[in-house]
């Protein structure tokens, strides 16, 4: 049923529909409303789960690790420094191949202290071995959260659902909440073959020496690769039940005869679509590619999506200082095997919550037509504010 | 699309006002979007919230830079330089104030209506929270949405005595401004 809901409340209700056995979380801006709402749903008797209040994100991640390893459907949520405090446990969760779901309400990482949205937090744990999905609307965040529970248990991998802090978490908009019957038809009860069982004792997390470590890593890499297909299948299955897909690995909003593309993850995609609409058809429109799966990275789907483009702008909401944009660098790498790869221009936008106006769409398209266009830039940084030696 | 910007101070319910306006738009069959521009949140600090209403799905997620309408929940905020920046030509500003509109209109070169919303709220609901009275007055002035949509949004958020008092408050507030004075043809 369509309702006007704040993103965080909608996520709390989506988690409720998934019938988690255990929820453990520590509040941090801008994830707080998700946890508050889950706590309230539990207190009101609308969500029957073991809600564990913990003293830190390290414990939150440890509790859900233990819960899932014991065979429980487990959920947590965090952001920013909370993700960094979890990071050691996040590597363990994935390395132990424990299926669970986490929402990341994306926020910058300090210093300098900043509570606003970018995607530095999730990029800091890029290599933890989780499935990482990105949402551009609250509808996608709701649908992806429910899908994530099934994806986790079918792949035996943890899934992080990224939604932009404030821009999505604190935005009220119309959201079609699936019914409990639909979610029950889509999401079977939690089953985890690797769960610890006193009747059949096993060890989890033992020392792995050089004779086996490479094989474990290879297998983990292969498991993420195999998840590509599952992400698409599960999205299609969800669409069969609810009438609505969330974008598979990536979604293309094409334009007739497009020679230029814009690729991005998260809520900035909507703003780019609005910028394209404003500019009208005469200006020559860009193909807009919304990347939903960041890990596993859908190299083949991406190469197909950029086919025919001469130039591709990749928007990054996080940077790797000393290199450039994280997403832009990865996209360049996977396109390098193409016969005719588009030339990639990588622009970081909206770091630390800098507002991204729709006019950036036209600005970026104009910029890349210039011969001196930078291949990487923090595009909305006002260099006049900096001393000359830092520009 | 109609765009709104709400200015207030922490504790006055500016974000709640934005959510109520969006919920009212949803009740009236529109697409809606409401979100705050948070600073370091604390009582009394200036806060802003944004609302978009459209017939079509709303793709844009930038802050509202060029509102059609502004609600100012505290007239002392009007001393902040540039507070009305970006207000569209032909736009309008609804200010919570005991002073007459003339006290502000000249400085802002736009249409201004004032309403003593805090006094009304204290009288009707017993709390100095001006947001629902201002929303009712805004809807009366613009006729952008029916008053019943706001009442429905209130029913979704409040219950019991708080709801009843707010329903009485919005009826009073709506009657204190000139109905349809800001009515325009929007593409929403």
Query: So what's the pLDDT on residue B42?
Result: 75
With bands split at pLDDT 50, 70 and 90, how would you rate the model's confidence at B185? Answer: low
* Secondary structure of chain A as H, E, C letters: CEEEEEHHHHHHHHHHHCCCCEEEECCCCCCHHHHHHHHHHHHCCCCCCEEEECCCHHHHHHHHHHHHHCCCCEEEEECHHHHHHHHHHHHHHHHCCCCCEEEEEECCCCCCCCCCCCCHHHHHCHHHCCEEEECCCHHHHHHHHHHHHHHHHHHCCCEEEEEECCCCCCCEEEEECCCHHHHHHHCCCCCCCCCCCCCCCCCCCCCCCHHHHHHHHHHHHHHHHHHHHHHHHHHHHHHHHHCCCCCCCEEEECCCCCCEEEEECCCHHHHHHHHHHHHCCCCCCCEEEEECEEECCCHHHHHHHCCCCCEEEEEECCEECCCEEHHHHHHHHHHCCCCCCCEEEEEECCHHHCCCCCCHHHHHHHHCCCCCCCCEEECCCCHHHCCHHHC
- What's the gap in Å between the CA of A82 and the closest CA on chain B? 18
With bands split at pLDDT 50, 70 and 90, how would you rate the model's confidence at B44? Answer: confident
Mutate which: B61, B145, B156, B159, vs A, most A CBs within 10 A: B61
- Using a CB-CB cut-off of 8 Å, the residues of chain B touching A271 are 59-62
Q: What is the mean pLDDT of residues B9-19?
A: 94
Residue B188: is its pLDDT beyond 50? no
Residue A270 to residue B35, Cβ atoms within 8 A: no
Residue A6 to residue B65, Cβ atoms within 8 A: no
| Domain spans, chain B | 2-174
Describe the crossing of helices A210-242 and A80-95 by its angle, rounded to 10 degrees: 110
Q: Does A264 touch chain B (CB under 8 A)?
A: no
Could you tell me where the DSSP H helices lie in chain B? 14-27, 102-108, 117-125, 131-142, 147-157, 160-174
**How far apart, in whole angstroms, are the C-alpha atoms of residue B36 and residue B143?**
24
Count CB-CB contacts under 10 A for residue B102.
Answer: 9
- What's the gap in Å between the CA of B52 and the closest CA on chain A? 10
Q: Cα–chain-centroid distance for residue B85?
A: 17
Q: What is the mean pLDDT of residues B127-151?
A: 97
**How far apart, in whole angstroms, are the C-alpha atoms of residue A209 and residue A191?**
30
Q: Is the CB of residue A271 less than 8 Å from the CB of residue A358? A: yes
Integer-rounded Cα Rg, in Å, for chain A is: 21
Q: Is the CB of residue A103 less than 8 Å from the CB of residue A161? A: yes
- For A230-240, the pLDDT digits (tens) are 999 999 999 99
Query: So what's the pLDDT on residue B11?
Result: 87
Query: So what's the pLDDT on residue A280?
Result: 82
- What's the gap in Å between the CA of B30 and the closest CA on chain A? 9
Q: Does B59 touch chain A (CB under 8 A)?
A: yes
One CATH from 3.30.70.20, 3.40.50.920, 3.40.50.1000, 3.30.420.40 for A250-390: 3.40.50.920
Q: Does B63 touch chain A (CB under 8 A)?
A: yes
Query: So what's the pLDDT on residue B43?
Result: 81
Residue B45: is its pLDDT beyond 90? no
- What's the gap in Å between the CA of A66 and the closest CA on chain B? 35
For chain B, the first-to-last Cα distance in angstroms comes to 4
Q: Is the CB of residue A75 less than 8 Å from the CB of residue A101? A: yes
Residue keyed to tokens 């249409």: B111
- Using a CB-CB cut-off of 8 Å, the residues of chain B touching A355 are 62-63
Q: Which of B31, B36, B59 sits opposite A273 (nearest CB)?
A: B59
The B residues from 30 to 49 touching A (CB cutoff 8 Å) are 31-36, 38, 40
Query: So what's the pLDDT on residue B41?
Result: 65
Q: What is the pLDDT along chain A (391 residues), one digit of tens a residue?
A: 999 999 999 999 999 999 999 999 999 999 999 999 999 999 999 999 999 999 999 999 999 999 999 999 999 999 999 999 999 999 999 999 999 999 999 999 999 999 999 999 999 999 999 999 999 999 999 999 999 999 999 999 999 999 999 999 999 999 999 999 999 999 999 999 999 999 999 999 999 999 999 999 999 999 999 999 999 999 999 999 999 999 999 999 999 999 999 999 999 999 999 999 998 876 679 999 999 999 999 999 999 999 999 999 999 999 999 999 999 999 999 999 999 999 999 999 999 999 999 999 999 999 999 999 999 999 999 999 999 999 9
Query: So what's the pLDDT on residue A83?
Result: 98
One CATH from 3.30.460.80, 3.40.50.720, 3.30.1340.10, 3.40.50.970 for A2-242: 3.40.50.970
- For A115-138, the pLDDT digits (tens) are 999 999 999 999 999 999 999 999
CA distances (Å), A35 to each of A8, A109, A138, A276, in order?
8, 20, 16, 36
Q: Is the CB of residue A267 less than 8 Å from the CB of residue A164? A: yes
CATH architecture of the domain covering B2-174: 3-Layer(aba) Sandwich (3.40)
Query: So what's the pLDDT on residue A101?
Result: 99
Q: Cα–chain-centroid distance for residue A8?
A: 15
- What's the gap in Å between the CA of B181 and the closest CA on chain A? 28
**How far apart, in whole angstroms, are the C-alpha atoms of residue A18 and residue B177?**
48
The partner residues of B50 in beta bridges, in order of sequence, read: B5, B35
Residue A115 to residue B22, Cβ atoms within 8 A: no
Q: Does A268 touch chain B (CB under 8 A)?
A: yes
| Domain spans, chain A | 2-242, 250-390
Q: Locate B44 and state its tokens.
A: 């009394």
């Amino acid at each position: 049923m369509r309702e006007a809901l704040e993103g965080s409340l909608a996520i709390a209700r989506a988690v409720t529909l998934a019938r988690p056995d255990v929820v453990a979380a520590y509040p941090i801006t801008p994830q707080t409303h998700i946890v508050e709402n889950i706590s309230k749903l539990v207190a009101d008797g609308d969500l029957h789960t073991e809600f564990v209040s913990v003293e830190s994100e390290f414990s939150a991640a440890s509790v859900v690790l233990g819960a899932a390893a014991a065979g429980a459907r487990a959920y947590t949520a965090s952001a920013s420094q909370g993700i960094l405090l979890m990071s050691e446990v996040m590597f363990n969760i994935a390395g132990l191949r424990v299926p669970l779901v986490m929402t990341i309400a994306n926020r910058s990482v300090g210093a300098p202290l900043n509570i606003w949205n970018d995607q530095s937090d999730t990029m800091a744990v890029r290599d933890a071995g989780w499935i990482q999905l990105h949402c551009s609307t609250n509808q996608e965040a709701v649908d992806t959260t429910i899908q994530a529970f099934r994806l986790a248990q079918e792949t035996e991998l943890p899934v992080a659902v990224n939604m932009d802090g404030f821009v999505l978490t604190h935005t009220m908009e119309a959201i079609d909440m699936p019914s409990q019957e639909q979610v029950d038809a889509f999401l079977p009860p939690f089953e985890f073959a690797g769960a610890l069982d006193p009747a059949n004792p096993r060890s989890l997390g033992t020392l792995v020496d050089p004779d086996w470590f490479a094989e474990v890593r290879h297998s983990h890499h292969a498991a993420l690769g195999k998840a590509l297909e599952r992400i698409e299948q599960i999205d299609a299955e969800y669409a069969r039940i609810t009438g609505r897909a969330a974008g598979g690995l990536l979604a293309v909003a094409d334009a007739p005869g497009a020679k230029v593309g814009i690729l991005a993850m998260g809520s900035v995609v909507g703003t780019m679509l609005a910028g394209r609409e404003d500019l009208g058809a005469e200006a020559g429109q860009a193909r807009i590619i919304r990347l939903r799966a960041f890990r596993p990275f859908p190299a083949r789907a991406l190469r197909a999506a950029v086919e025919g483009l001469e130039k591709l702008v990749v928007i990054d909401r996080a940077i790797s200082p000393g290199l450039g944009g994280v997403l832009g660098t990865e996209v360049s790498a996977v396109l390098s095997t193409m016969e005719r790869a588009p030339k990639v221009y990588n622009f970081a936008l909206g770091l630390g919550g800098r507002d991204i106006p729709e006019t950036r769409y036209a600005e970026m398209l104009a910029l890349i037509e210039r011969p001196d266009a930078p291949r990487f830039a923090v595009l909305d940084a006002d260099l006049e504010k900096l001393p000359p030696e830092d520009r | 699309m109609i765009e709104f910007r709400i200015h207030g101070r922490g504790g006055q319910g500016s974000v709640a006002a934005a959510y109520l306006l969006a919920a009212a738009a949803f009740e009236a069959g529109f697409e809606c979007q409401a979100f705050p521009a948070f600073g370091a949140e604390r009582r009394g600090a200036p806060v802003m919230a944004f609302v978009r209403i459209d017939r079509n799905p709303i793709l844009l997620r930038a802050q509202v830079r060029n509102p059609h309408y502004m609600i100012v929940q505290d007239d002392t905020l009007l001393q902040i330089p540039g507070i009305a920046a970006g207000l569209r030509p032909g736009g309008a500003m609804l200010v919570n104030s005991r002073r007459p509109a003339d006290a502000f209109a000249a400085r802002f070169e736009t249409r201004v209506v004032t309403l003593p919303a805090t006094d009304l709220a204290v009288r009707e609901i017993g709390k100095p929270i001006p947001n629902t009275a201002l929303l009712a007055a805004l809807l009366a002035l613009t006729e952008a949405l029916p008053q019943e949509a706001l009442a429905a949004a209130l029913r979704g958020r409040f219950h019991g005595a708080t709801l009843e008092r707010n329903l009485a408050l919005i009826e009073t507030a709506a009657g204190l401004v000139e109905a349809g004075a800001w009515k325009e043809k929007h593409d929403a």
